[in-house]
Amino acid sequence: MKRLCGASDLVTDVCCGNGTTGAVAERLGRRWIMSDLGRFAIHTSRKRLIELQRTLHDEGQSYRAFDVYNLGRYERQWWQKDRLHGAEEEHRRVVLEFFKAEVLTNAPNPLLHGRKAGAFCHVDGIDGVFTRTEAKAVAEAVVALGNVGVSPASGGRPAHRSTMEVACLAWEFEMELRQHTLALEAELGVRIKLIPIPREIMEKNRKNPPPFLEMAVLEAEAVCRKAEGKRLKDENKMPAVDIKLTKFLPSLAEVPSKELEALKERAVKSGFDFIDFWAVDFDWHPGKPFNHHWQDYRTRKDRALKTVSDAGHVYEKPGKFMLCVKVVDVFGCDTSITVEVKV
């Protein structure tokens, strides 16, 4: 029988589905790479491999770590080149059209691109990540206009506004941006709505606008307690650190319109019900890969989910540490925030 794969060979599955190829390769000790265009396929594969790690651990066998990477924005880049002919202005026009907002042809500030129901609209670049620096600049642009708005029908001339609000539409947002904009709102008095641009607008021949919903809200806090057993550092008596989820409100951006209203009420009452997976990196550094020091997730057989980690992480020495909390909801969308702890 012909040998199909040796221990040093690399197994590749470019449409991994639910991760069967990677799981089998891992069981056999083979190197592997999996990829998929569907984010839920990647999420399902990740859970399957974590479950395999746990099984191998319980069996006393060795197991390996793995990384999950987002390799690019190729889908949007192709759409921009093929359908929009590379024009950033056309990208903004299409987004605002689906958002049912009016385009400001003579905007009083280059950061303000549209207007809807009395609120200004900012559309971030197709390849950009909307950052806290950009959010502050947009909010300050609105403040600079005071209680004056812009009427597209009047060619951009001032018109009375009673409130200050801006909708920031972007494909991606900087981590923990919602918490930062809450501080900006209190400081500047501008309501800042962070709205992910639905990928459905890229569908060919799409006419009806998909729902534009605000990004998910995630809040968590560090929990410190006395370490026990082997985790107790006798010299420094360092505490054990865990994370408690305190609030989660999914964006529901992937929910079909006919189910949206029913799920909105449920999401407000029981946001944790929409969490499928969450993980903690107890020593996160900007620009570095996320390390899954602890994770919990639902399975088909067990739908229970912890809302407080039980890692009991103990640091080697005192200091300030940044923890990163990553949540993946039942729609495959991920939300991350950072939490600082001093031990």
Mean pLDDT of the chain: 85
> Does the structure show a pLDDT above 70 at 262?
yes
Residues 274-323: pLDDT tens digits?
999 999 999 998 877 788 899 999 988 888 999 999 999 999 999 999 99
> Does the structure show a pLDDT above 50 at 1?
no
- For residue 228, what pLDDT is reported? 66
- For residue 2, what pLDDT is reported? 41
- For residue 204, what pLDDT is reported? 84
> Does the structure show a pLDDT above 90 at 255?
no
- For residue 229, what pLDDT is reported? 57
Residues 56-67: pLDDT tens digits?
888 988 888 888
- For residue 7, what pLDDT is reported? 59
Radius of gyration in angstroms for the set of CA atoms belonging to the chain, rounded to a whole number = 23
For range 251-264, the mean pLDDT: 76
| Entry pTM | 0.71
- For residue 111, what pLDDT is reported? 95
The domain locations on the chain are 10-58, 74-202, 217-342
For range 43-53, the mean pLDDT: 88
SS (H, E, C) the chain: CCCCCCCCCEEEECCCCCCHHHHHHHHCCCEEEECCCCHHHHHHHHHHHHHHHHHHHHCCCCCCCCCCCCCCCHHHHHHHHHCCCCCHHHHHHHHHHHCCCEECCCCCCCCCCEEECCEEEEECCCCCCECHHHHHHHHHHHHHCCCEEEEHHHCCEEEECCCCEEEEEECCECCCHHHHHHHHHHHHCCEEEEEECCHHHHCCCCCCCCCCCCCCEEEEEEEEEECCHHHCCCCCCCEEEEEEEEEEECCCCCCCHHHHHHHHHHHHHCHHHHEEEEEEECCCCCCCCCCCCEEEECCCCCCCCCCECCCCECCCCCCEEEEEEEEEECCCCEEEEEEEEEC
Residues 80-118: pLDDT tens digits?
888 888 788 899 999 999 999 999 988 789 999 999 998
Considering only residues 245 and 212, tell me which one the structure prediction assigns the higher pLDDT: 245
Confidence of residue 78 (pLDDT cuts 50, 70, 90): confident
> Does the structure show a pLDDT above 70 at 74?
yes
Second CATH level (architecture) for the domain 217-342 = Sandwich (2.60)
User: For 74-202, CATH number?
Assistant: 3.40.1350
Look up residue 91 and give its amino acid: H
- For residue 73, what pLDDT is reported? 74
